[in-house]
Structure 1
Amino acid sequence: MAAAEKEKKGPNKLIIIIVVMGFVMMIGAVTMVFMATDMSVSDVLAKFQKHEEYVMPLESFVVNLETEGKGTTYLKTQLSLLYVEEDFGPVLTNKTSQIRDIIIKDLMEYKPDDLLVNGGLATAKVKLRSSINTALGKEMIKEIYFTEFLVQ
């Protein structure tokens, strides 16, 4: 029986060594990823934390689109702005006129075909978000939602 007990202890040590080496290799791989991407643990943890989201609907816009003198084409749209920090709400409310002005100026630069092609709205959203955040001096707007969209 003593020989049988020694045989059982041998594989247990081997399994423990394999598990420990696997764990060490996994930690090394994670460390390499963090070093290569300049990410920190707090960046990763922030992705898993639940953030409150707030939406600020704006009134409708009616905008002349760029047609290069070939008649008139209008865009009627309504937008909502998504932000994640509650403190931004009063700031955005106070700057609603400035935000509306930026949106109108940006939308007037588009041609109808630019907005109606596949991916046109996504491009417009990115440009609008960038313009608004630049004017506000801070990354306040996380997303823009078109809640109404009509080109005529």
Structure 2
Amino acid sequence: MNPTDRTERPYLDLTVQLVLGAAAAVPVGVRLGYDPADPLAVRLDFHGASEAVPPWFLSRDQLRGGLRTPTGEGNVRVCPPCACHGPGTVRIVLRGREGAAVLYVPAAPLRGWLAGTFAAVPAGTEGTLIHWDEVVTELLRHG
């Protein structure tokens, strides 16, 4: 596949568990999206969310790393499957101004989908797809 083409599966729709407390979680639909035009990021949208719930942009490398070892600092952390939280579940912790959310994400479909994004845009080649002049222009406009 040409790296400038979209992945075979540019989106992954999943039902995840949104943790509400020590003993409570609710199922929530999410969509993960990957666009080679923004090759370092994965977009996370909540199905049916109002416009007040903006998408989250996660590091593709961080998600892949989080399948094996805890990754991230600050607003996004990814923790791999483990015996205490479930051998088939990746935990994604999102922290924002309004609070934090913990998502339990099925590991197998996430792993397979991420592999497809790396097949489309191999690690280390992302910089060749970024339009640096546009990035610099946008930064200078807001800087």
- Report the TM-score when normalising by structure 2: 0.28
- Report the TM-score when normalising by structure 1: 0.27
Structure in which a larger fraction of residues adopt helix: 1
Which structure has the larger Rg over C-alpha atoms?
1
